[in-house]
Structure 1
Amino acid sequence: MAFDVTPLPYADTALEPAVSANTLSFHHGKHHKAYIDKMNAAIEGTDLADKPMEEIIAAARGTNQGLFNNAAQSWNHGFYWHSLAEDGGTPTDELKSMIDSAFGSTEELLKQLQDRGAGHFASGWVWLAVKDGALTIEETHDGDTLADKDGVLPLLVIDLWEHAYYLDHQNARPAYLKAVTEGGKLNWGFAAENLARGTTWTYPA
């Protein structure tokens, strides 16, 4: 089984001005595809060839860094495309209650996502997740992922790698984070689906 790049769930102009069609053409069409192609090549003919991507990530963690990086980055990108939307809407009542309990308000959550994302050194990812029954902001470095982490349920993620924002915002990561979070591009419907399901999203086979 070979994996494919997940199709964008919106037009390539849908995230502007936070993320331009030009950025998506490189980020989705080239970066994500490169991770997928390298992972597919690495698992071909092995006992991982027919496994779900989440199992490949778990098997490669700590044992095969090259495969882990490409599989985890493939999963993270698939999750990231769904974490964004042209009109992300607003949190459901259940999510809003959890946000208020953990952060005081949606505005404070967005501020903390911006602050944690801007403060993350070098490349990585900033996540909204559920841990121990409460919302939390998590960070993973470089290609690391929450896809195979027990006890943590990812709801949304924002890519902090420079290729996610450099064509639009140059080195101003805070401007990108502000545009995504305050510009209505976080997909609260996707977050609600992940919360309701209660199990980690799976990359489509």
Structure 2
Amino acid sequence: MKRSKFLQNTLAILGAGIALPSFAKLNKKGTSLEETSWENAPFSLPTLSYSYSALEPNIDALTMEIHHSRHHKAYVDNLNKAITGTDLASSSLEELLKNISKAPVAVRNNGGGHWNHSFFWKVIGPANGNKPSQALADQIVKDFGSLDNLKTEFNKVAMGRFGSGWAWLVLKDGKLSIGSTANQDNPLMDVSDLKGKPILALDVWEHAYYLKYQNKRVDYVNAFWNVINWDFVSSQYTN
């Protein structure tokens, strides 16, 4: 079996054992055309505002396709399955996360996976040369000394997360800070040691980078800075 084919096959089962649905049919933008199997489901897979190939060469199209249409969709489907017919079905995603300690583990894992990925798709985007707003840039200098220092500290945290998880830039009490969470936890959860408003996030699960970068997470982390949508990130800081 060719190495590339082997990697494609193995990526499909990465993600800590989550059940993955079959490939969805896709439109030209790479959006899933497959309707959810859960009737009147409260949550759905968000549409990407760019094509799967738009982040090339930093994040390859096949990884984006699998990541969005299979991994993220699995979190959405499993979340709907976990809450359908329960009192949680009427809660917003943010309400679920805020009180996640009271929810079943399936809601924690899949609710976090849905929120984290929905946020991540907005953090990244086609390289367009934009940069942090002046307000965010000033805050970065205040808290980290420079944007380069922020990148260095963020990369350390992303590389230091053992196993699967996320690296975050958060705003709390008027100050930016960096931290990480395991699995699909995030700073909005009441069980998280890292608290604050998410400003920037990086998925460091292997399924996010393994097809292109294999075990070289550092190359993926460095490439991430080439596809940040600073307009969105800056809006998270301001709003």
TM surpasses 0.5: yes
1:93 aligns with 2:134: yes
The residue that corresponds to 1:6 in the other structure is 46
**Secondary structure, aligned partner of 2:45:** coil
The residue that corresponds to 1:119 in the other structure is 160
Q: CA deviation at 1:45?
A: 1.3
1:188 aligns with 2:227: no
Q: CA deviation at 1:30?
A: 0.2
The residue that corresponds to 2:219 in the other structure is 175
2:201 pairs with one of 146, 150, 157: 157
Q: CA deviation at 1:62?
A: 5.1
Percent identity, please: 37
Q: Which runs of 4+ in 1 moved over 6 A?
A: none
Which residues of structure 2 form unaligned runs of 5+? 1-40
Q: Aligned equivalents of 2:57 and 2:159: distance in 1?
A: 19
**Aligned residues of 2:79 and 2:111 also touching (Cα < 8 A):** yes
Range that drifts further, 141-150 or 111-120 = 141-150
User: Residues 6-155 of structure 1 correspond to what in structure 2 (within 5 A)?
Assistant: 6-61=46-101, 63-87=103-127, 89-148=130-189, 152-155=196-199
Q: Aligned equivalents of 1:148 and 1:194: distance in 2?
A: 18
Instruction: Write the deviation string for residues 48-99 of structure 1: whole angstroms up to 9, x where unpaired.
Output: 1121111122333254112111111110010111110112610000000011
**Aligned residues of 1:125 and 1:142 also touching (Cα < 8 A):** yes
Which residues of structure 1 form unaligned runs of 5+? 198-205
**Secondary structure, aligned partner of 1:125:** strand
Q: Aligned equivalents of 1:11 and 1:70: distance in 2?
A: 24
Q: CA deviation at 1:21?
A: 0.8
Q: Aligned equivalents of 2:45 and 2:67: distance in 1?
A: 11
Q: Aligned equivalents of 1:131 and 1:49: distance in 2?
A: 29
> How many equivalent pairs are there?
195
Q: Aligned equivalents of 1:91 and 1:166: distance in 2?
A: 29
Q: CA deviation at 1:10?
A: 1.3
Q: CA deviation at 1:115?
A: 1.5
Q: Aligned equivalents of 1:117 and 1:140: distance in 2?
A: 10
**Aligned residues of 1:132 and 1:151 also touching (Cα < 8 A):** no
Please say which structure displays the higher CA radius of gyration.
Answer: 2
Range that drifts further, 41-50 or 28-37 = 41-50
Please report the TM-score for the alignment, with normalisation by the length of structure 1: 0.90
**Aligned residues of 1:118 and 1:173 also touching (Cα < 8 A):** yes
Letter in 2 for 1:167: L
Q: Aligned equivalents of 2:217 and 2:98: distance in 1?
A: 30
Q: CA deviation at 1:132?
A: 2.0
Please report the TM-score for the alignment, with normalisation by the length of structure 2: 0.77
Instruction: From the superposition, tell whether residues 104 and 141 of structure 1 become closer, same or farther in structure 2 (CA, over 3 Å).
Output: same
Range that drifts further, 122-131 or 62-71 = 62-71
Q: CA deviation at 1:2?
A: 2.1
Q: Aligned equivalents of 2:81 and 2:60: distance in 1?
A: 30
